[in-house]
Amino acid sequence: MTIPEPLIEKCDTLFLDRDGVVNVWLPGDYVKSWDEFRFNEGFLDFIGRYSSRFRHIFIVTNQRGVGRGLMSVEQLEEIHSRMMDTISRAGGRIDRIYFSTAVDDSDPMRKPNPGMALKAAEEFPDVRLDRSLMIGDQLSDRRFAQNCGMHFLRWE
């Protein structure tokens, strides 16, 4: 995937969905262990290429499987730790991962609600959501970007 240069010039923060962008999405299931985690083709090259182009890079991900008791927060954090190590070894970086374990769609932290982006802007005061780009693969990712005033690109 290539980000158009005009978008890079407008945006200094990158938000990425996890399932479907960083890793292969398992329709009807959840990635519950590192053994089930597979990077999407081209993602490691993508993150290595664009890491120096953005001031901040965040992953924002709904993880309803935790809320449903199919996996623990510790299991999720193990997946994220190993994912981050692999991204780092590939020359990329992720500054922070925000996740929602909510099962209720009205929870403010669950995409498409803006809670995770607002948390990032609170923890990183130089983040401006109007100068941010969200890359996702689902309609909820597009709506998240709209709800936050971000630019959006569909992962392809």
d(Cα 153, Cα 144) in Å, to the nearest integer? 12
pLDDT single digits (tens) 12-67: 999 999 999 999 998 889 999 999 999 999 999 999 999 999 999 999 999 999 99
Catalytic residue among 17, 35, 45, 137: 17
Q: Does 147 have pLDDT greater than 90? A: yes
Identify the bridge partners of residue 154 per DSSP, sorted by sequence position.
136
Confidence band for 140, pLDDT divided at 50, 70 and 90:
very high
User: Which H or E element spans position 120?
Assistant: helix 115-123
Q: Assess whether 105 carries a catalytic annotation.
A: no
pTM for this entry: 0.96
pLDDT at 33: 95
What does the angle CA 70 – CA 74 – CA 86 come to, to the nearest 5 degrees?
105
Q: Would you state the pLDDT for residue 28? A: 85
- For residues 77-98, b (16+ Cβ closer than 10 Å) or e, as one string? eebbeebeeebeebebbbbebb
Give 94-104 pLDDT, tens digit per residue: 999 999 999 99
- CA nearest neighbour of 155 among 18, 6, 7, 11: 18
Domains of the chain: 5-154 (3.40.50.1000)
The reported pLDDT for the residue numbered 27 is 85
* CA distances (Å), origin 150, targets 4, 21, 83, 85, 102: 15, 17, 25, 28, 23
Mean predicted lDDT score pLDDT of the chain:
96
The span from the CA of 129 to the CA of 144, in Å, is 11
Task: Give the pLDDT score at 151.
Answer: 98
Residue 156 confidence (pLDDT) above 90: no
Measured CA to CA, the distance from residue 53 to residue 63 in angstroms comes to 28
pLDDT in tens, 107-121: 999 999 999 999 999
Q: Is 17 a catalytic residue?
A: yes
Among 19, 104, 107, 137, the one annotated catalytic: 19
CA distance 12 to 127: 8
